[in-house]
């Protein structure tokens, strides 16, 4: 598929008004997307676990208006008007207008809510932008019902979500999604996420992700700014090669269910992401002292027990503790007894691998 394939030819029967609701999950990257080219094209492929509990629900209502050169929309979070969300959505509409040529023909009301607290330091851009993209795809499908396959619907939703936020294109389906061209992964694309096409061992079924909320404040450095700092970064080329290699290695790890090899790749990816931040110019550190305390405790506990828990990090201080279902009881007990003390107000979220967005 190319960009051209996502430009609709004509609509059979447009509606005057209507509304659609989607609930879309967040996702956690195993191989991390960090660095992008023009038009939201990633420098490297990434692979993620779709999450289950952390979700955004968005209801999009649309009513026909006089078409002019402006987008017309209002945004609400938990019932309250959120004008500070508008610039990001306006950019998203500008980037997607070619593919959704009806955007200026309607007034949109976007009503959204998250299952996780807004100020939890968990990015809502992946779940939020994917939910909005799915709602817009439902609008498009309602104009041309018979002709759209589910496969196209999901692919275009992912393609649109990417234009809102890169990580959002990986939140349409589950449970393992790859985004970005990788020579060993057939069908992988820079334009949208695809389901991981190879065998995955039962060890990875129902994998847990307990998210420890170390710092619930707003990020000091936005992801977009961070991605840009990879341009001309002294270690960028090596990092890009490493991400390709790590994804290649994971193919065998998933097939064999090799948890030790999994842990090594996942923790190395998390630390490399933060190493890129610390070695860019300007440099910055998003981890907090408690992030390091938690990592240290995880390493000690793993060494003492041989259990297969590991950590990963996003662009923030929160720690995602990943572990297999078969060891969940003991590991969760450890998390409660030893790690929760390092969370802000003792807050954490129990999540696990999930299966994608749902229409409500
Ligand atoms: C560190 O998707 O938030 O979480 O495309 O600029 O919206 P934009 O960036 P975003 O970047 C996420 C980066 C990351 C790693 C990852 O999720 O792969």
CA of 276 to the centre of ligand 1 (A): 14
Q: Where are the alpha helices (DSSP H) in 27-124?
A: 86-96
Could you say which DSSP state residue 299 is in? H
The pLDDT, as a whole number, for residue 330 is 98
Atom of ligand 1 nearest to the CA of 162: 5
The pLDDT, as a whole number, for residue 10 is 84
218 class by beta-carbon count within 10 Å (0-12 exposed, 13-18 middle, 19+ buried)? exposed
Residue with the smallest CA separation from ligand 1 atom 4 is 314
Say how far apart CA 270 and CA 266 lie, in whole Å: 6
pLDDT (average), residues 150-168: 97
CA of 315 to the centre of ligand 1 (A): 8
Secondary structure class of 155 (helix, strand, coil): helix
The residues pairing with 108 across neighbouring beta strands, listed in sequence order, are: 62, 73
Alpha-carbon dihedral sign for residues 295, 296, 299, 302: negative
191 Cβ contact partners less than 8 Å away, ≥ 6 residues apart:
1, 2, 3, 41, 159, 162
CA of 223 to the centre of ligand 1 (A): 6
166, 169, 228, 250: which to mutate for ligand 1, most atoms within 8 A of CB? Answer: 166
Q: What is the pLDDT of residues 294-332, one digit of tens each?
A: 999 999 999 999 999 999 999 999 999 999 999 999 999
The per-residue b/e assignment along 54-73, b for 16 or more CB within 10 angstroms, e otherwise, is: bbbbbbbbbeeeeeeeebbb
Query: What spatial distance separates the first Cα and last Cα of the chain, rounded to whole Å?
Result: 28
Half-sphere exposure of 120 (CA within 13 A, CB side): 20
Sheet with 310-313: strands ordered across: 310-313, 319-323, 208-212, 348-352
pLDDT above 90 (res 12): no
Residue with the smallest CA separation from ligand 1 atom 12 is 167
pLDDT above 80 (res 146): no
Q: What is the pLDDT of residues 273-282, one digit of tens each?
A: 999 999 999 9
Atom of ligand 1 nearest to the CA of 226: 6
CA of 317 to the centre of ligand 1 (A): 14
CB 167 within 8 A of CB 33: yes
315, 317, 318: which to mutate for ligand 1, most atoms within 8 A of CB? Answer: 315
Peptide bond into 282 cis (omega under 30): yes
Residue ranges lining ligand 1, Cβ < 6 Å:
29, 32-34, 40, 46, 123, 125, 165-167, 223-224, 227, 273, 314-315
Say how far apart CA 133 and CA 358 lie, in whole Å: 13
CB 352 within 8 A of CB 126: no
CA of 36 to the centre of ligand 1 (A): 10
The pLDDT, as a whole number, for residue 67 is 82
Secondary structure class of 340 (helix, strand, coil): helix
317 Cβ contact partners less than 8 Å away, ≥ 6 residues apart:
121, 214, 215, 286, 287, 288, 290, 291
The model carries a pTM of 0.96
CA of 221 to the centre of ligand 1 (A): 12
Across the chain, mean pLDDT equals 95
Q: What is the pLDDT of residues 283-297, one digit of tens each?
A: 999 999 999 999 999
Atom of ligand 1 nearest to the CA of 28: 17
Q: What is the pLDDT of residues 342-357, one digit of tens each?
A: 999 999 999 999 999 9
The pLDDT, as a whole number, for residue 273 is 98
CA of 301 to the centre of ligand 1 (A): 30
Secondary structure class of 54 (helix, strand, coil): strand
Residue 219: band (very low, low, confident or very high) from pLDDT cuts 50, 70, 90: low
CA of 65 to the centre of ligand 1 (A): 34
The pLDDT, as a whole number, for residue 203 is 98
pLDDT above 70 (res 119): no
């Amino acid at each position: 598929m190319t960009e051209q394939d996502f430009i609709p030819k004509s609509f059979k029967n447009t509606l005057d008004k209507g509304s659609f609701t989607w609930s879309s999950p967040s996702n956690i990257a195993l191989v991390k997307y960090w660095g992008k080219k023009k038009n939201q094209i990633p420098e490297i492929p990434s692979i993620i676990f779709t999450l289950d509990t952390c979700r955004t629900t968005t209801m999009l209502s649309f009513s026909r208006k006089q078409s002019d050169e402006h987008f017309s929309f209002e945004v609400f979070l938990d019932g309250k008007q959120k004008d500070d969300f508008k610039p990001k959505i306006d950019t998203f509409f500008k980037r997607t207008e070619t593919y959704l040529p009806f955007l200026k023909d309607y007034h949109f009301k976007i009503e959204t809510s998250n299952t996780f607290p807004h100020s939890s330091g968990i990015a809502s851009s992946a779940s939020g932008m994917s939910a909005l993209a799915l709602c817009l795809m439902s609008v498009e499908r309602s104009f041309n019902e018979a002709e759209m396959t589910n496969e196209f619907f999901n692919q275009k939703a992912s393609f649109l979500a990417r234009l809102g936020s890169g990580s959002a294109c990986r939140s349409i389906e589950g449970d393992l999604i790859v985004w970005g061209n990788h020579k060993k992964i057939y069908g992988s694309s820079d334009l949208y996420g695809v389901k991981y096409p190879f065998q995955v061992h039962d060890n990875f079924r129902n994998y847990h992700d307990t998210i420890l909320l170390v710092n619930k404040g707003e990020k000091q450095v936005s992801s977009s700014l961070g991605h840009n700092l990879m341009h001309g970064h002294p270690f960028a080329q090596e990092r890009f090669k490493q991400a390709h290699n790590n994804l290649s290695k994971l193919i065998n790890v998933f097939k064999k269910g090799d948890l030790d090899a999994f842990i090594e790749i996942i923790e190395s990816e998390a630390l490399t992401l933060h190493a890129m931040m610390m070695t860019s110019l300007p440099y910055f550190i998003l981890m907090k002292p408690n992030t390091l305390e938690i990592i240290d405790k995880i390493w000690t506990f793993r060494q003492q027990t041989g259990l297969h828990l590991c950590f990963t990090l996003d662009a923030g201080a929160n720690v995602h503790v990943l572990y297999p279902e078969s060891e969940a009881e003991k590991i969760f007990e450890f998390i409660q007894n030893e790690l929760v003390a390092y969370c802000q107000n003792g807050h954490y979220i129990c999540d696990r691998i999930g299966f994608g967005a749902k229409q409500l």
